[in-house]
Amino acid sequence: MVEIKIKSSKDGPNLVIIDGQVKMAFCRCGHSNNKPFCDGTHHKAKFEAEEKETQIFNG
Ligand code: FES
């Protein structure tokens, strides 16, 4: 069984979580120098956003 979630982290990237482990982090602040991936620039940019979690697959 594989569990896949997408979590929009508080003030940070969209995380792809597979079986409880973060596998990828996609930028959602628009400031990354390595798009589509997060490079941590959201801290410098003082990005603010709500946390949200969605389970997209469990089987
Ligand atoms: S969310 Fe991290 S650099 Fe954009």
Q: Give the residue extent of every domain in the chain.
A: 3-58
Angstrom CA distances, 59 to 1, 14, 16, 17, 21, stand at 5, 22, 16, 14, 16
5 within ligand 1 shell (Cβ under 6 A): no
- Nearest ligand 1 atom to the CA of 28 is 1
Tell me how far apart the alpha carbons of residues 54 and 59 are, in angstroms, rounded to a whole number.
15
Q: Tell me, using a 6 A CB cutoff, whether residue 14 lines ligand 1.
A: no
Cβ–Cβ under 8 Å, residues 8 and 48? no
Percent share of the chain, pLDDT over 90? 88
> Does residue 59 surpass a pLDDT of 80?
no
Between the CA of 20 and the centroid of ligand 1 the distance, in Å, is 21
Report whether residue 32 contacts ligand 1, using a CB cutoff of 6 Å: yes
Global confidence as pTM = 0.90
Q: Band of the pLDDT at 30, cuts 50, 70, 90?
A: very high
Query: CATH assignment of 3-58?
Result: 3.40.5.90
pLDDT above 90 (res 38) = yes
Rounded Cα–Cα distance for residues 3 and 34 (Å): 27
Pick from 43, 44, 48, 35: nearest CA to 8: 48
